[in-house]
Every structure is written in structure tokens, then in C-alpha cells.
Structure 1
Amino acid sequence: MPASISLSQLSWSTPEGRSLFSDLDLTFGPLRTGLVGRNGVGKSTLLRLIEGSLVPQTGRVSVEGSLGVLSQTVQVAADETVADLFGVSRALAVLKRAEEGLASMDELAVADWTLESRLEAALARVGLDAAAETRLAALSGGQMTRVKLAALVFQEPDFILLDEPTNSLDREGRAAVAALMAGWRGGAIVVSHDRELLETMDAIVELTTLGTTTYGGNWSHYRERKAIELASTRHDLADAERRLAEVERKAQETAERKARKDAAGRRKRAKGDEPLLLLDARKERSEKTGGDNARLAERRRDQAVGDLADARERIEILQPLIVRLPPTGLPAGRSVLQIGDASVGYEAGKPVVDRLSLSIVGPERVALTGRNGSGKTTLLSLLTGELQPWSGSTRVLVAYAMLDQRVSLLDPALSIRDNFRRINPGASENACRAALARFMFRADAALQVVSSLTGGQMLRAGLACVLGGSSPPQLLILDEPTNHLDIDSIEAVEAGLQAYDGALLVVSHDHTFLEAIGITRRIELS
């Protein structure tokens, strides 16, 4: 029987009672499937139900074939090695004894002479040059993710389950994972916001509060289909608005005709030139007809209002964020920041940033790239004054704002609205609400407390508070802004940054994001 995963009438709710999905029916064949959806919709929970670490509240999960799951654990024993992670330490020890002429006949009979070459090949597939005896504790976070992925595919399972496999990986690591998935010929379910990785998929499954929708093809094909759906929904919205207006116009015309007929009947009754019995019969028919017309008009209006509400709800879900911001007034020739031969680090004699010089002029959009540990975040700390240079100089010459991964410029105890008023003390209530609405925090959504927001909402709120005021800062510094965001949130951030006319300094490994926000220069740290 071919490998497959089937979900039947599957339901799950959070401990607080919030339903993530109910009566879910879905089948995964031996294809590479990207699982996408907004943060908190239940993607990771669905993976855990499939792997068996969660038990369905109702429904059933059926797996035909073997599963491999990318481990998310970060703690390892001090002496644990790459070979231990792959589960081949004993087998490698047998090979070593065989090479030394110390292996028994029983050991020689079960020795796997291809093991070392297969181990090297698995590590090479994810771009790692690590020996079997390498201690895991000596690896960086990005290297650890890659070695875990290598250990996963080394087992050659029928299906692999990956939850955000490129998070915290540098550009080289992300490319290695994408290349591995492009060559993977088994089944895979991949939860990811990495659009380059999603381009290697055979299908995209979108999970929403309404259920799942499957789209054949990769990320680009999915986006094309979503664009068509958006155009169709816009058409439905316009049609529903037209029909409601038509229903209300006809209802008004009918009411006016009845009022004229009723007035004519009253005049005839007042004249007394027709039998009263005949007039009473006409009045009864008129009242019955009027009642029938009113009920028909009400049914039509209810239907039109329902269709309009449905169309508006779908347009809210599908409508991308479009932002218009006040200008920063940054001139093209204005010097924004200057770093002159600066060095800094955390341990004497071991600079993380060594004799770096950098300048940004006018509304340049500069990306800081480089491998994990190359000093990107350290450089941002130097620019914002958290660190002082050991030598050289750093100067930021315009008003700036820094959005780190925790968006720490926001007070978590305050609402989005109150944070906006705190950061923009001269803004009126109307200006505040209008600015927040441009970033899709409308009405009561603006009153959410920051500590209750998802990662994507928090970054969007930070952008709204910083860029939505009457005088946005002329320099915006961002540190890995797309980490842990769903794709809808990333695209909302992209829309906000596309509308910004100041200078940008961005640390990011997300090539698609950097292209979308119009980066003009890249500086790679080594």
C-alpha cells in the first residue's frame, strides 16, 4: 500500500476551549506539501496530532508508512555526538574495530560497510562538513538544525514532518534546506513561512478557521489562485452591494405606490359615491397585498444583507494590507549614519565586529547579511548605543527607530492605542485611530494589550506606532523582522515598508523579503 496520511473528522481545541479545527477531513499522499496559515490557527498542533505526540479529541489519524519528525529540542548532553544523533555510534564502533582487526565474526557479519559514506552524504545534503565524532554542543543553532535534518533524512522515512525548518538559519543554511527538499522524493508536510522553501513543494494546504483548502502546485501557483479568489470576492462584494441597493430601491418604490393607492382609497371613501362593502373589500386586498409585498421585500433584503456580509468577511480575510504613510522628508544627499573603522566584542581580544566602516546616505535600503555569528546583531547594538566601540566611531545623524525581534519599544502592559499616543504624544485621537486603521487595527482591535498579541501582530503594531505618526523617523532599523511570523504578517510588514520613504537598515536572511522591500545595497559580514 502506498504511503499516506489520512485525517478523518479530526477536532482539537485549546485548553481554554478555543476550537482550532473541527471535523477536519484531509489526506496527504507521497508528495511534498506546504502547510500554511496564520499564526495560532493550529498548524503545529496538526503536525503533533499526525506524529502522535497529541491524541485527537475526536476523529482519527491514520498513517500508512514510516514517519520522521524534525526534533525541536535544543538541549543536548555535553558528550553527545553527531553519530549519537544519527543513532549509528555502535555501528561505527564496529567498523573501527574491524579496521583494527579486533571485530568478532558476529560483528563482521552485521557490519555496514556503506555507513560512513552514507553518513557523509547525508551531512553534505544539508551543506555541513562535520565529522561523526563532532560534539553537538559545539555546533551553532543553525548547524544544529541542519544536522538534525540530515539525521532525519538519513533514516529514509516514507514521510517527514518539518515545523519551521529554516527558522534561525543563515542564508547558506536556508539554501541547503531548500535544495534538500527540492531533491526529496518521499512524502513531506512542511510548516513554513519561508517562501523560497515553499517554492519546492508539490502542493500547498491552507489551514484557516473555516477548515483546509488544498492547492496543487508550489507557492507561486498558490498565490496566483489566491489572487483570482480575491478578484472574484471583490466582484461578489460589488454585486452584493448593487443587489442590496436594488432591493431597497424597489422596496421604497413599492411602499410609495401603496401609499398613493391608500390615499386614493381614503379619498373615495370620503366621497361616499361607492358602496362601503366594495371599499372594504378593496382595503382588505390592499392590506393583504401590502403585507405580502413587505414580507417579500424583507426576505429579499435579508438575503442581500447576508450576501453582502459574507462578501465583506471574505474580502477582509483575503485583502492584502495597503499602507499610505506621511513622508519623512529625508533628502537624497543627507548622511544618515556613519561607522568609521569600528571594533567591538564581548571578550577582550576577540572582536565580533573588527574595523568596520559603513555609511548610509539618503533613503538607501541596506541589508546586513552573513552567517550566523558574524556580528550582525552586535553591529545593531553598537549603532543604538547598547554597546560602545572599542575603537573607531559610530554616529546616527537622523531620528531613528529600532524594531528588534521582541519589538521592545512597545510597552507590553499598554494597548496598541496607548503605545501610539506614548510614542506620538502630539497626535490627536482621530489621527491615532486613522494611523492604526491603516495597519488593520480598527475599532476595538486598537485596544488590544500588546502582551496579548501574536508575533506578527506585535511587529505590525510596532510599525504602526513608529511609522503612522505625522513625522516618521528618517531611519528604521530592523533585526530579523520575519522570524516567527506567518506569511500574511510578513506581507503586511512588506506593504508597510514599501510605503516608507526613509532609510532602512535590515538584518535578515529572508531573500524574498529583502527583494520585496526594495533593498538597494547588501553588506555581508564575515
Structure 2
Amino acid sequence: MSAAIILSDISWSAPDGTSVLSGIDLSFGPVRTGLVGRNGTGKTTLLNIIAGNLAPRTGSVAAGGSIALLRQAVSASPGETVADLFGAREGLALLARAERGEATAAEMADADWTLEIRVGEALSGVGLDISPGVPLAALSGGQQTRARLAALVFAQPDFLLLDEPTNNLDREGRESVVRLLSSWRCGAIVVSHDRELLECMDAIVELSSLGAAVHGGNWSHYVERKAVELEAARHDLAVADRLVAEGARRSRLAAERKARRDSAGRRRKASGGVPRILLGKMKDTSEATGGAMARLAERRERQASDRLENARKRVEVLQPLSVSLPASGLPAGRTVLAMEAVTGGYEPERPVIRDLDFAVAGPERIAVTGPNGSGKTTLLALAVGALRPFSGTVRIIEGFAFLDQQVTMLDPAVSILANFRRLHPDATDNACRAALARFMFRADAALRPVASLSGGQILRAGLACVFGGPRPPGLLVLDEPTNHLDIDSIESVEAGLLAYDGALLVVSHDETFLSNIGITRRLELPAR
């Protein structure tokens, strides 16, 4: 019997009572499944329920086969080594003693002589050339993620559960994870916003406020199906809209006819031409008919309204978000950033950037790329003045904007509106509201504290505060803008940046994102 995971009527609510998952019925076989959806739809929650780390409020999980879960971020324990991830510390220590001639005959009989080779192959499978004895704390976050993934694969589970496995990985790390999953032949459930990784999936499951929808095929096939569904949903919305309007028209006509009949009855009564007993019977009949017609009209209106609401919800789920950036008016050829013979970093004796000559002119779109640790974020800090160079000069256009990974320009303790007013103290209340509304923060949404927002909402709020002022920046500097965003948010930012007429300087390992925003030049930093 093939390994399988079956979810029946799974529901789960946050501690404050907010419903996150409701009535989820899904089954997973020995195929690779991408789990997608907007932030807050419960993707990580669902993985933890499948893994048994979280109990559902209702429903059950039936798992046939072994399961291994890779979490988004796990800190290394003191003294923990790479070998500990594989459960191989004692086995490798035994092989080392045997090699030195210090193992007993009994130990030699129990030794796993292929262990070191198999651990090494698992590490190289994710692009790591490291010793199993290396402390985990000595590895970068991306290297730790890859080492943990190698250990999961080494255990040969029936199902891999991976939560954003390529987050914070450099290009090499992303490619190694894609290669590993492309060759994986057991079951895998992968939460990811990495569209390149999702291309090697066999199926896509989308979580939304409407529940879970299963789409066979990889990411490209899913996108095609979504486009067809969106067109169908828009058609249904238009039909439902017409039905509501037609129902309102019929109700108005019925009310007008009744008013005319009632008026005619009053005139006949006033003329005295109809016997009182017949008038009473006519009144009763009219009231009964009118009541029945009113109930029928009310039922039809309710059905039409329900259909309209359902159609509208469907369109809202399928309709991509949109971000529109106003024009900066940056002239072609104007120098917006010039770095001449720049050397800088955090310790003068160990500079990160050495003798860099670099310039941005006009509406260029430049990607700063390179492996983790090569100094990409340091370069941005030098460019925007957050870090002073040890030598050399930096000149940057007045009115540039810099959004780092955490969008630290925003105060998390106050609302989006309060942040906007702090950054644009001369703006009127109407101007503040209008600027935020263009970025889909309307009415009470503008009053939400920044700390309560998702990653995509925080980036959108940062863009609103930057581009909502009287003078949009001619240079926008972004450091890993797609980290922790859902795909809908990434695509909305892509559309906005593609239409932006200013200069872009972007650090990102997401090649799909860089391609979609029209990068024209790259600054590749070497490994240090």
C-alpha cells in the first residue's frame, strides 16, 4: 500500500478565536505538492497539524508512512554539530576510533562502515562541502537550513514537510534545493513562495478563505487554471449583479402596481359604487396576494444577494492584488548614485567592500547579486549612508528611498496612518487617506498598528509611505523585498515596480522576481 496522508474536516482557530482553517478535506500521496496561499490562510498551521505538532479544533489526520518536518527557523543548540542532525555523532566517532585502531572487536562488529560516505553524499546533495563535525552555530542561516534538509532526506521518510525551504538562501542554495526536490520520488508537501521551486511540483494546493483547492500539475499549469477561473468568476459576478438589479426592478414595478390598485380601490370606496362586504373581500384578497408576492420577492432578492456575495468573494480570492507607484519623472542619464573607490564594512582591518567603483544613471534597474556573506547588504548600507566608508566617496540623489528587509522606517507600535503623518508632516488628512487608499489601506485598515501586519502588508505600507508624499523618489533601494511575502504580494509588488519610472537598486536571490521587474544590469559580488 502506498504511503498517504488523509485530512478529514480539519478546522483550527487562533488563540483569540479567529478561524484560520475550516472544514479542510485533503489527501496527499507519494507526489510533490506545493502548498500556496496568501499570508494568514494557515499554510504553516496545516503543516504542523499534519506533523502532529498542533492539534486541530475539529477533524482528524490519518498518516500512513513516516513524516519529517523542516521548520522555517530553528536555532542551533549549544554544542550541536552537523552530525547531530543526522543522529550520527556516535557512529562517526566509532569510525574515527576504528581508523585510529582504538575500537574494540565488539564495536567494530557494530560499526556502520558506510555512514560517513552516506552523510557526505547527503550534504553534497544540497551543495554543502562541510565536515559533519562542524558546529551548527558556525554555519550561516542558509547553510543550517540546507544541512537540516540533508538530514531529513538522509532519514528517507515517506513524506517531507518543508516550510519555506529556500527562504534566505543564496542562488546556489536555492538551486540545490530545487535539484533535490526535482529528484525526490516520495511524498513532499512544500509551503513556498519560490515559483522556481514550485515548477518542480506535481500538484498545487491553494488555501484561501474559501477552503482548499487542488490543482494538478506544476506552478505554470496552476497559473493558467487560475486565469480561467478568474474569468469565469468575473462572468458569474456580472450575472449575479444583473440578477440583483433585475430583482430590484421587479420589486419596484410590483410596488408601483400595488400602489395603483390600492389607489383605485380607495377611489371606488369613496364613490360608494361598491357594496361594503365586497370591498372588504377585495381588500383581504389584495392583502393576501400582496403578502405572498412580497415574500416571493424577498426570497428572490435574498437568493440573488447571496449569489452576488459568493461571486464577489470568489473574485476577491482569485483577483491579484495591485500596487501602483506614481511617476518620479527621473530624467534619462541623470546620475542618482555614484560610489568611487569605496572601501567599507564594520571592522577597518577586515573590510567587506574593497575599492568599489559603481554608478547608477537614469532609470536603470540594477540587481546586486552574489553568495550569502559577499557583502550585498553592506553595499546597500554604504550606498544609502547608513554606513560610512573607510575610504572613497559616495554621492546619492536627494529624495531616494530605502526599504530594508524589516522596513525599519516604520514604527511598529503605531498605525500606518500615524507613520505616514510622521514621514509627511505637512500632508492634510485627506491627502494621507487618499495616498494610503491607493495602496489598499482604506478606512479602518489605515488605523491598524504596523506590528499587526503581515510581511506583505508591511512592505506595501512602506511603499505607501514612500510614494504617497508630494515628491516620489527617483531612486528606490530594496533589500530582499520578497522575503516572507506570499506570492500574491510578490506579484503585486512586481507589477508596481515594472511600471515605476525611477531607478531601482535591488538585492534579491529570487531570479523570477528579478526577471519580472525588468532588471537591466547586475553587480555581482564575489564570495569572501
Give the alignment's TM-score, normalised by structure 2. Answer: 0.93
Which SS does the other structure have where 1:497 is aligned?
Answer: helix
- How far apart are the structure 1 equivalents of 2:245 and 2:8? 43
CA shift, 1:256, in A, is 1.9
Name the CA distance, whole Å, in 1 between partners of 2:375 and 2:512.
22
Give the aligned partner of residue 227 of structure 1: 227
Deviation string 1:467-519 (CA, Å, 9 cap, x unpaired) is 23342111111111111122222223223323322111111111111122222
Return the alpha-carbon distance in structure 2 between the equivalents of residues 348 and 200 of structure 1. Answer: 45
Determine if the alignment matches structure 1 residue 464 to structure 2 residue 464. yes
How far apart, in 1, do the equivalents of 2:13 and 2:177 lie? 32
Tell me the residue number matched to 2:243: 243
Matches within 5 A, 1:248-327: 248-327=248-327
Aligned to 2:155: 155
Matched residue, 2:177: 177
* CA deviation after TM superposition for structure 1 residue 111, in Å: 3.4
In 2, Cα distance between equivalents of 1:441 and 1:495: 18
Give the aligned partner of residue 516 of structure 2: 516
Using the alignment, how far apart are the partners of 1:81 and 1:412 within structure 2? 36
In 1, the alpha carbon distance for the partners of 2:264 and 2:6 equals 70
1:60 and 1:279, CA in 2 relative to 1: closer, same or farther beyond 3 A? Answer: closer
Distance 1:256 1:488, change over 3 A: same
**Mean alpha-carbon deviation: is it higher for 88-97 or for 486-495?**
88-97
The residue that corresponds to 2:78 in the other structure is 77
One-letter code aligned to 2:289:
T
Letter in 2 for 1:373: G
5 Å-filtered alignment, 1:416-435, equals 416-435=416-435
Q: How far 1:183 sits from its partner (Å)?
A: 0.6
Q: Following the alignment from structure 1 to structure 2, what is the Cα–Cα distance between the partners of residues 282 and 270?
A: 15
Q: Supply the distance in 2 between the matched residues of 1:413 and 1:108 (Cα, whole angstroms).
A: 61
Paired with 1:13 and 1:261, the residues of 2 have a C-alpha distance of 55
Kindly indicate whether the alpha-carbon contact (under 8 Å) linking 1:327 and 1:471 is maintained by their aligned counterparts in 2.
Answer: no
Question: More deviation in 498-507 or 337-346?
Answer: 498-507
Q: Which runs of 5+ in 1 are unaligned?
A: none
Deviation for aligned residue 1:279:
4.0
Amino acid at match of 1:74: S
Letter in 2 for 1:62: A
State the identity %. 63
Task: Give the counterpart letter for 2:312 in structure 1.
Answer: R
Counterparts of 2:311 and 2:431, CA distance in 1 = 29
Aligned mates of 1:90, 1:333 — CA distance in 2: 63
Residue in structure 2 matched with residue 443 of structure 1 by the alignment: 443
Q: Is contact 1:369–1:509 with CA below 8 Å preserved after alignment?
A: yes
Question: Structure 1 432/477 Cα, relative in aligned 2: closer, same or farther at 3 Å?
Answer: same
- SS where residue 190 of structure 2 aligns? strand
Superposed displacement of residue 99, structure 1? 4.3
**Which residue pairs with 1:129 in the alignment?**
129
Work out the CA distance in 2 between the residues paired with 1:323 and 1:16: 31
1:200 and 1:459 map into 2 onto residues whose CA distance is: 28
Aligned partner letter, 1:125: G
SS of 1:8 mapped into structure 2: strand
Quick one: structure 1 residues 282 and 53, their matched pair in 2 at CA, closer, same or farther if it must change by over 3 Å? closer
1:189 equivalent in structure 2: 189
The SS at the match of 1:84 is helix
Report the alpha carbon displacement of residue 375 of structure 1 after superposing the two structures with TM: 0.6
The amino acid of 2:293's aligned partner reads N
Closer, same or farther: CA 501–275 of 1 in aligned 2, 3 Å: same
Shift of 1:172: 0.9
| Alpha-carbon distance in 1 for matches of 2:397, 2:105 | 75
Query: What SS does the aligned partner of 2:351 have?
Result: strand
SS of the aligned residue for 2:253 comes to helix
Q: For structure 1, which segment, 328-337 or 277-286, has the greater mean C-alpha deviation from structure 2 after superposition?
A: 277-286
| C-alpha contact (below 8 Å) 1:337/1:398 kept by paired residues | no
1:415 corresponds in structure 2 to 415
Query: Alpha-carbon deviation of 1:57?
Result: 4.1
Matching residue's letter, 2:245? A
Per-residue CA deviation, residues 271-329 of structure 1 (Å, 9 max, x unaligned), is: 34444444443343333322322222222222222222222233223221233343111
Contact 1:341 1:356 in 2 (8 A): yes
CA contact 1:323–1:499 (8 Å) conserved in 2: no
Q: Work out the CA distance in 2 between the residues paired with 1:83 and 1:203.
A: 33
* Secondary structure of the corresponding residue to residue 350 of structure 1: coil
Matches of 1:52 and 1:321, distance apart in 2 = 34
Secondary structure, counterpart of 2:134 in structure 1 = coil
2:91 corresponding residue in structure 1:
91
Q: Distance in 2 between matches of 1:385 and 1:313?
A: 46
What do you get for the CA RMSD once the two structures are aligned?
2.1
Amino acid at match of 1:166: T
Once residues 438 and 225 of structure 1 are traced to their aligned partners in structure 2, the CA distance between those partners, rounded to angstroms, is 29
Q: Contact 2:43/2:207 (CA < 8 Å) preserved in 1?
A: yes
In structure 2, list runs of 5 or more residues that go unmatched. Answer: none
Secondary structure at the residue paired with 2:434? helix
The residue correspondences of 1:3-22 to structure 2 (distance < 5 A) are 3-22=3-22
Rounded to whole Å, the distance in 2 between the matches of 1:413 and 1:274 is 77
* Higher mean displacement: 190-199 or 279-288: 279-288
- Native 8 Å contact 1:321 1:495 kept in 2: no
* Distance of aligned partners of 1:291 and 1:63 in 2 relative to their CA distance in 1, 3 Å threshold: closer
Partner of 1:454: 454
Q: Which amino acid aligns with 2:25?
A: D
Q: Is 237-246 or 415-424 further displaced after alignment? A: 415-424
Preserved contact between residue 348 and residue 390 of structure 2 (Cα < 8 Å): no
Is the Cα–Cα contact under 8 Å of residues 36 and 191 in structure 1 kept in the other structure?
Answer: yes
Deviates more, 1:215-224 or 1:350-359: 215-224
Distance 1:148 1:400 in 2: 40
How far off is 1:187 after superposition?
0.8
Superposed CA offset, 1:133-173 (max 9, x none): 33333322211211111111111111111111111111110
Which residue is equivalent to 2:473? 473
- My pick for the range that moved more, 56-65 or 167-176, is 56-65
Per-residue displacement from partner, 1:118-143 (whole Å, max 9, x unpaired)? Answer: 22221221111122333333322211
* Partner SS state of residue 300, structure 1: helix
Residue aligning to 1:329:
329
Q: In structure 1, what residue type is equivalent to 2:451?
A: S
- What is the rounded CA distance, in whole Å, between the counterparts of 1:149 and 1:326 in structure 2? 43
The residue that corresponds to 1:54 in the other structure is 54
- The one-letter code matched in structure 2 to 1:77 is P
Give the 3-state SS of the residue equivalent to 2:270 in structure 1. Answer: helix
Task: Tell me: CA distance 1:485–1:323, structure 2 relative to 1, closer, same or farther (3 Å).
Answer: closer
Deviation of 1:417 after TM superposition, in Å, equals 1.8
* Contact 1:326–1:469 under 8 Å retained in 2: no
Worse overlay, 129-138 or 391-400: 129-138
CA offsets, 1:30-72, max 9 Å, x none? Answer: 1111122222332222222222233344433222212222254
Deviation at 1:98, TM superposition (A): 4.2
1:525 aligns with 2:518: no
Q: Which amino acid is the alignment partner of residue 170 of structure 1? A: D
1:233 & 1:475 partners in 2: Cα distance?
39
* 1:212, distance to aligned residue in structure 2 (A): 1.9
Which letter does structure 1 place at the counterpart of 2:36?
A: V
SS in 1 for 2:225: helix
Deviation at 1:425, TM superposition (A): 3.3
TM-score (norm 1): 0.94
